[in-house]
Amino acid sequence: MSILVFGKTGQVATELQRQAKVTALGREQADLTDPAACADAIMQSDASVVINAAAYTAVDKAEDYEATALMVNATAPAAMAAACAARGIPFIQISTDYVFGGSGDNARGPDAPTAPLNAYGRTKLAGEEAVRAAGGQYAILRTSWVFSAHGNNFVKTMLRLGAERDRLTIVADQIGGPTPAADIASACLTMAEAMQTDPQKSGTYHFAGSPDTNWADFAREIFGQSGLAPEVVDIPTSSFPTPATRPLNSRLDCSDLENTFGIMRPDWRTALRSVLNEIATA
């Protein structure tokens, strides 16, 4: 299996390079603001599967730069998916829980109605729709609350703030599943191999860490495992306004992924230990 990855320094792209022999294209090799160049990279490659692990992920900034986010998150994946369809190879697109509106208390399955609350979610949803419309073999993998030892993420932010402050106020009414980037990468590789032999596995899937939690309790676990001891004070989302509205309910029903590919939800608390160890020894 020859794998072409869009993205090189992001959390999932980094883990893909750790776990498999892949050709990873950074911005200098394939700029996602140039969709034609992305398509050409696929057409000129010997890849038997393509994974798009690159995206415009600056959620708040996307409110002011939605056109750029749309190019990166929708137009470029559309071109990639079309090139993969022309070559007859599988295309895997990583998406997000932010395509949902975030109401209610139940976990959403892949067929649940979408209703993004912000520009980032709108552009990622547009990317999903474009990938499906390309007519090739595809898998869209929606995930949430990604963390790892590299890149920018909640774990690294909490370690920094926890070392600087004695008291932190953290949102406690947003619920979701923190997801290790390493497990997302592993899931993508498992899906890629399976899709090469069974085109019927095309579709949209969910993947998130277990158990579901909120940001405040996620922070408490980070501090408990790292030995930091700031006081964590729960606050509602309304007390922490941001340019982009965040969904309150990011719970994802991941049963389709388990049933189709045998991929189970990872325990994020166990993965967190590994991530913290890696950060501490870096």
Q: Which residues of 140-179 are buried (b: 16+ CB within 10 A; e: fewer)?
A: bbbbbbbbbbbbebbbbebbeebeeeeebebbbbbbbbbb
* Between residues 282 and 164, the one the model is more confident about: 164
* Residue 172, pLDDT score: 97
Map residue 201 onto helix, strand or coil. helix
* Residue 213, pLDDT score: 98
56 is catalytic: no
Annotated catalytic residue within 56, 98, 120, 205: 120
pLDDT in tens, 210-246: 999 999 999 999 999 999 999 999 999 999 899 999 9
pTM over 0.85: yes
* Residue 71, pLDDT score: 96
Residue 104 has pLDDT above 80, yes or no: yes
Q: Dihedral sign, CA of 202, 204, 210, 211?
A: negative
pLDDT in tens, 48-91: 999 999 999 999 999 999 999 999 999 999 999 999 999 999 99
Whether the CB-CB separation of 247 and 117 falls below 8 Å is answered with: yes
Residue 227 CB contacts under 8 Å (≥ 6 apart), including other chains: none
Helices H / strands E in the chain, number of each: 10, 12
Domains of the chain: 3-151+177-209+252-261 (3.40.50.720)
pLDDT range class, residue 1, cuts 50, 70, 90: confident
Helices (H), the chain: 11-19, 35-43, 66-70, 76-87, 119-133, 154-164, 181-197, 215-226, 255-261, 268-281
